[in-house]
Amino acid sequence: MASLYTLASRNVGKTWVLMAVFFLLVILLGWGISWYVGSPSILWAAVAIAMVMNLTSYWYSDKIVLAMTGAKEADPAHYRELHRIVENLAITAGLPKPRVYLIDDPSPNAFATGRDPQHAAIAFTTGLLSILDRAELEGVAAHELAHIRNRDILVATVAVVLAGVVALVADFFLRMALASDNRSRGGPIMLIAILVGVILAPIAAQLLHLAVSRQREYLADASAALLTRYPEGLANALRKISEASRARPLQSASHATAHLFIASPFGDDAPSREKRSGFGNWVASLFSTHPPVEDRIARLLSYGEVSRA
């Protein structure tokens, strides 16, 4: 069983696998449409798009995600205490201090991004700073630093960009197939097969997007508890974030970026074990970006009981 400290290289490997799968998905879409309309140039365009977007998602995913969420760098003079909390925890974790960003949104939340610890950033919403005390804020910052140390964010941010690319490419190819006058290659059956593939591709991309295991949230929670030695801080923060998100969803979040945040920005995390019976709840848990907040809080509080024993 892997320990808390042996997962970084495994997550780097997952990133390359994820990029390869997205690459093949775009190529297959391009090949199907190029074969149907009889234009090999479409396949080469798909290859070029896949290569460019894979490279872009790896090198610039942090900048893309920060721009998508409207995050701005936090002024060190005005937010001195926030910078101090992040710096102290980074030193304790043996990491370089990540850049600190703010999202001007009253809904409390936070996320980390960046391809490695040297290029990492943590973004906090203004709503988070307004409702958490220092211990709770330290718990949130420690959770995000755990994602950075474990390289979870590399997988997550690459998935954000590539899932969006597949959806855009699929929509583009769908329009081309419908507009094509070439019906000689495969006839209506082939057209239906291509259309089904193009329609299902974004769904497959979304499932890959959610393939960043929900167990990583549990792992980051446990890492944060070890880092702060006060799991109750993060537990209280998660409770506040979850309640506030249900009442006021995060406006700057989208379904593409939702899984990056420490808790669901829409207040729709997976159903807890007690509520998971039934097919509908099972599907909801399958497509949820986050594990149940109740389960995460229970685990964190159990860590506190163990440490006091």
Residue 67 token pair: 């721009």
- Over residues 182-195, the mean pLDDT reads 60
pLDDT bin (cut points 50, 70, 90) of residue 285 is low
Q: What is the pTM of this model?
A: 0.74
CA distance 7 to 56: 24
Q: pLDDT exceeding 70 applies to what percent of the chain? A: 65
pLDDT bin (cut points 50, 70, 90) of residue 45 is confident
Residues labelled catalytic: 144
pLDDT bin (cut points 50, 70, 90) of residue 163 is low
What sign does the CA torsion over 171, 164, 248, 291 have?
positive
Q: Are 125 and 82 in contact (CB under 8 A)?
A: no
pLDDT bin (cut points 50, 70, 90) of residue 306 is low
SS3 244: helix
pLDDT bin (cut points 50, 70, 90) of residue 272 is low
Alpha-helical segments (H) within 248-287: 279-287
**CATH superfamily to which 68-152+215-308 belongs:** Metalloproteases ("zincins"), catalytic domain (3.30.2010.10)
Longest Cα–Cα distance in the chain? 74
- Over residues 172-189, the mean pLDDT reads 61
Task: Please give the single-letter amino acid code of residue 194.
Answer: I
Q: What is the residue extent of each domain of the chain?
A: 8-64+164-209, 68-152+215-308
pLDDT in tens, 16-33: 776 677 777 777 777 877
Report which of residues 292 and 141 the model is more confident about.
141
pLDDT bin (cut points 50, 70, 90) of residue 284 is low
pLDDT in tens, 207-256: 665 655 566 788 889 889 989 999 999 999 999 999 999 889 999 888 77
CA distance 302 to 75: 37
Q: HSE on the CB side for 176, CA within 13 Å? A: 22
